[in-house]
Structure 1
């Protein structure tokens, strides 16, 4: 299920997105999270898919589409994947990933990429079972532009 700021599950996704931020040590900021997420979706920078069971959102996946310059195509990047801890190990993350891979394939994307922490054994196990492979020879770097 795709999520848009004007659709009912948006509030549930935004609440879960704020819980995801808290999970990673950031302070809760429900209003700011809701505004930021709505802005990203409306601007087309993020696509969001909700994992819904029994009418409630229990997980979400965000993705962005990037140019695959050398091959003159597109690549999809999974940015965030989170399942409420009370609903983990129930197949929600797998369903979300399979859904986004199917969408990317249907859109003609050349690949779907994601990243996670090297010690996230549960996620790495799921990703490799679904066919994702490590990219040898690449190293992630970043340049912080502001504090925080």
Structure 2
């Protein structure tokens, strides 16, 4: 079972390969320096919540990254669970579920009433995990992207 904790700037060397692996999962080219730079920005700007999963040996095996956004409709804030990644060798061992639960707990500690996420339509394994943990698929809204 993994240990989940809030990531610190000192974790960047462990997080950067995970972020790079996450990007490659989504068919982006490997860019370890870019992943490191991106993480440094998150810590400097303090614009994200980052959790890291460590295996029993203390090696980083996963992460989740959450971004706060204001919600006019709820007159509060919600967090977008933007990134969730577990290294292949640590999958199906409960690490992803533990990260999702830790994200939920962290949001509750911060008074956040709602978490949102999106996943690829063909990522059936992730979808079934989300639903098993109480996440509900939004049937009211469609996502649109505009590439600039």
Question: TM-score, normalised to structure 2's length?
Answer: 0.91
Q: In structure 2, how many angstroms separate the alpha carbons of the residues matched to 1:127 and 1:79? A: 14
- Unpaired runs of 5+ residues, structure 1, are none
Q: Does 1:2 align with 2:10?
A: no
Q: Matches of 1:75 and 1:115 in 2, distance apart?
A: 14
Contact 2:42 2:48 in 1 (8 A): yes
1:131 aligns with 2:134: yes
Distance 2:127 2:145 in 1: 22
| Selected match of 1:25 from 24, 27, 30 | 27
1:10 deviates by: 2.0
8 Å CA contact 1:4–1:38 kept in 2: the answer is: no
Over the aligned positions, Cα root-mean-square deviation in angstroms equals 1.1
Aligned mate of 2:146, from 125, 135, 143: 143
The answer (yes or no) to whether the contact 1:51–1:60 under 8 Å persists in 2 is: yes
Unaligned 5+ segments in structure 2 are none
Aligned-pair CA distance for 1:70:
2.0
Does 1:59 find its partner at 2:59?
no
**Partner of residue 93, structure 1:** 96
Higher relative contact order (CA 8 A, sep 6+): 2
Distance 2:135 2:111 in 1: 18
CA distance in 1, matches of 2:120, 2:88: 18
1:122 and 2:125 correspond: yes
Residue of structure 2 equivalent to 1:79: 82
Aligned length: 143
Q: Deviations over 1:10-35 (max 9, x none)?
A: 21111111121122222211112101
- Asked if 1:49 is matched to 2:24, the reply is no
